Amino acid sequence: MLKISKNKIMIAPSILSGDFANMEKAVKNIEEWGGDLVHCDVMDGAYVPNLTFGMPMIASLKKKTKLPLDVHLMINKPERYIGEFIGAGADIITFHPDASENPKATLEKIRESGVLAGVVFNPNIPWKPYSELFKLCDLVLVMSVYAGRGGQSFIEDSLITVREIADYLSKNNIDIPIEIDGGINPQTAQKAKEAGASILVAGNAVFNAENPANAISALKK
């Protein structure tokens, strides 16, 4: 089972910014560049307007990399597909609780098979009504852009959410990391880490960097 901790900064480059005709190269690149996790953005054209890929992509990537697959589900009723994403080899599965009919059961189902589970909050979704779920989570993901596409600018208010959730977790003795996703670059990464995030997703800042390996080390610093 994958180990993650709030005491270790991890970088999760998103293959959404890779070449969809050569995803094998995208994951091999992430390994070479020093990424810790492969962030896989699954979009259904319903919860978010965009469409990307599903379980077959995860199953194929699993054969091509030793890095853990961090699967971010931007889909309605994620509970319908959890079994298949686990079967495909996901190491982490996060989903938007507002898209689920039963987030608690969904988290439990993910964790039953030893896969790490977390809930994700879009900037307009209040986290407090879902805070009871945190004790069933291995991580919490805060969106710093509206889920749906790469290359958007960082929403500064998401730092407030990271701070509030970090505070809640610490007050309730829930020792899990916070992941942040969207518009991460060396400057916003710094602020996100100060606010309490330790797993940083980055699409454009890595894949479009002149030197992606340096970009990853800059995000880690």
Q: Does 37 bind ligand DX5 (CB under 6 A)?
A: no
Of 38-97, binders to ligand DX5 (CB under 6 A) are 39, 41, 72
Q: Which of 10, 166, 180, 184 binds ligand DX5 (CB under 6 A)?
A: 184
Q: How far is the CB of 11 from ligand DX5 (least distance, A)?
A: 11
- Our CB check for ligand DX5 shows the closer of 39 and 109 to be 39
Identify whether the C-beta of residue 192 lies closer than 8 Å to the C-beta of residue 160.
Answer: no
How far apart are CB 120 and ligand DX5 at their closest, in Å?
Answer: 8
Using the rule CB under 6 A, which residue among 68, 150, 177, 212 binds ligand DX5?
Answer: 150
- Taking CB under 6 A as the criterion, the residue among 152, 155, 174, 217 binding ligand DX5 is 152
The residue among 35 and 182 lying less far from ligand DX5, judged by its C-beta, is 182
Using the 8-state DSSP alphabet, how is residue 207 labeled? H
Q: What is the DSSP string of the chain?
A: -----TTS-EEEEBGGGS-TT-HHHHHHHHHHHT-S-EEEEEEBSSSSS-B---HHHHHHHHTT-SSPEEEEEE-SSGGGTHHHHHHHT-SEEEE-GGG-S-HHHHHHHHHHTT-EEEEEE-TTS-SGGGGGGGGG-SEEEEESS-TT-SSPPP-TTHHHHHHHHHHHHHHTT----EEEESS--HHHHHHHHHHT--EEEESHHHHTSSSHHHHHHHHH-
Min dist. Cβ of residue 191 to Zn ion (A):
18
Please tell me whether residue 181 binds Zn ion under the rule CB under 5 A: yes
Query: Interface with Zn ion by CB under 5 A: which range of 68-76, 81-89, 100-108, 110-118?
Result: 68-76
Binding to ligand DX5 by residue 181, rule CB under 6 A? yes
123 contributes a contact to ligand DX5 by CB under 6 A:
no
Which residues are at the interface with Zn ion (CB under 5 A)? 41, 72, 181
